[in-house]
């Protein structure tokens, strides 16, 4: 066992523990991830990012939810990783590639006083075919489709942004039943790999408001893939334009669904602090 060095990041309040696994192997069993992410009892975070070497890209990223499960992709997390590798001298270019569970993603960095500040990631193309999200039911797409959950009929739009999403349009985001419907939809039979859930209000053609219930985490202050899902679902339903600002509880993210089909996510990233988890604490978690 060894002390575990980490760097804490956030993007609009969506916070992560980044662990550098480039130089040595890091053992991160699910129960340890869960304890690291527990606020007040651990470091506290919405997820853990593991930086690894890659044979097909500049770097590789693995992303873990607070419950210890692994996610395919994380829009805010990958941008935090981009800031880390540039600011810590692991790359000197303003464009880089990162291998993820959802494929290779390309990042572009904008600097402020010599450090990465606003970062854009090409999130790839959204997927609407149910079998590829995945979503149960007949083949086809779920665009404003009615489903029955817990004796409630809900109209949803389902898609994948490298991970599954379920979007509900509401009149008022602040009063949306996120805590009730979030876990019901996340764990419903319609989504065999569970799903993220977005509650979205269209303010105007280029402006959305959203709250996100993240799979394996719960409600977060911001979510990169969730912002993209909200924007894409709004445009696909002709409720909004393809380039929008998404207002989330922690701050704003910009989403641009370009005509070539690719979705670009842009926003600020902040390094909060660097730290070390003590060996004694790690041993206690492994003994549980």
> Active-site positions?
74
Q: Count CB-CB contacts under 10 A for residue 61.
A: 23
Using CB atoms within 10 A of its CB, is residue 190 exposed (0-12), middle (13-18) or buried (19+)?
Answer: buried
For 179, residues 6+ apart whose C-beta sits below 8 A from its C-beta are: 219
Pairing mode of beta strands 196-204, 164-169 = parallel
Q: Dihedral through CA 149, CA 75, CA 241, CA 173, nearest 10? A: 50
CA atoms of 78 and 51, how far apart (whole Å)? 10
Q: At what angle do helices 30-37 and 279-287 cross, to 10 degrees?
A: 130
Residue with tokens 């704003």: 252
């Amino acid at each position: 066992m060894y002390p575990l060095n980490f760097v804490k990041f956030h993007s609009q309040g969506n916070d992560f523990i980044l662990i550098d696994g480039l130089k040595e192997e890091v053992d991160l069993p699910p129960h340890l991830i869960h304890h690291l992410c527990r606020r007040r009892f651990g470091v506290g975070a919405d997820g853990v990012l593991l930086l690894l070497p890659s044979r097909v890209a500049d770097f590789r990223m693995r992303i873990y939810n607070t419950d210890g499960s692994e996610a395919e992709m994380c829009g805010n997390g990958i941008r935090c990783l981009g800031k880390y590798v540039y600011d810590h001298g692991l790359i000197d270019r303003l464009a880089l590639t990162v291998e993820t569970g959802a494929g290779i993603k390309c990042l572009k960095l904008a600097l402020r006083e010599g450090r990465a500040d606003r970062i854009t990631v090409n999130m790839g193309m959204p997927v609407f075919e149910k079998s590829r999200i995945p979503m149960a039911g007949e083949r086809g797409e779920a665009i404003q489709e009615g489903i029955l959950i817990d004796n409630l009929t809900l109209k949803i739009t389902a898609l994948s942004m490298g991970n599954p999403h379920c979007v509900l349009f509401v009149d008022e985001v602040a009063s949306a039943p996120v805590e009730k419907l979030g876990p019901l939809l996340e764990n419903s039979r319609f989504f065999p790999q569970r799903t993220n859930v977005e509650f979205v209000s269209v303010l105007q053609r280029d402006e959305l408001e959203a709250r996100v219930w993240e799979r394996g985490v719960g409600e977060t202050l911001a979510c990169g893939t969730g912002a993209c899902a909200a924007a894409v679902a709004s445009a696909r339903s002709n409720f909004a334009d393809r380039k929008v600002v998404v207002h989330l509880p922690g701050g704003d993210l910009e989403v641009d669904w370009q005509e070539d089909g690719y979705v670009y996510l842009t926003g600020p990233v902040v390094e909060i602090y660097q730290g070390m988890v003590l060996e004694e604490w790690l041993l206690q978690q492994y003994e549980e």
